[in-house]
Homo-oligomer: A and B are copies of this chain.
Amino acid sequence: MAYELHYWPGIPGRGEFVRLALEAAAADYVDVCRGDEQQGLGVPAMLHWLEDPSVPRPPFACPFLVDGRTVVDQTAAILLYLGPRLGLVPQREQDRLWAHQIQLTVADLVQEAHNTHHPIAGGLYYEEQKPEALRRAADFRRERLPKFLGWFEAVLARNAGNARRELPRLVGGRLSYVDLSLFQLVDGLLYAFPKATRRALKKTPHVAAVHAGVPRLRRLAAYLASERRLAFNEQGIFRHYPELDA
- Chain A residues within 8 Å of B, Cβ to Cβ: 53, 55-60, 69-70, 72-74, 76-77, 80-81, 94, 97-98, 100-101, 104-105, 108, 111, 115, 119-121, 123-124, 129, 132, 135-136, 139, 143, 148, 151, 154-155, 158-159
Contact = CB atoms under 8 A, between A and B. Distances in A.
Contacts of A100: 74, 77, 80
A139 B155 contact: no
Given A111-B111, A136-B119, A139-B120, A77 B97 contact: yes
A158 B104 contact: no
8 shortest interchain CB distances as A-B pairs: A121-B139, A74-B104, A60-B105, A120-B135, A132-B132, A120-B136, A74-B101, A56-B158
B97 A158 contact: no
A158 B81 CA distance: 23
Nearest to A133: B120
Chain A contact residues, majority secondary structure: helix
A74 B136 CA distance: 24
Contacts of A76: 104
B72 A97 contact: yes
Contacts of A121: 135-136, 139, 143
Copies held by the complex: 2
Nearest to A157: B53
Contacts of A159: 56
Nearest to A94: B70
A61 to B, nearest CB: 8
A94 B81 CA distance: 10
A100 B148 CA distance: 24
A27 to B, nearest CB: 18
Contacts of A77: 97, 100-101, 104
Contacts of A119: 119-120, 132, 136
Contact of A151 (B60, B111, B124, B135): B60
Contacts of A80: 97, 100
A226 B79 CA distance: 39
Contacts of A143: 121, 123
Given A72-B101, A101-B72, A58 B136 contact: no
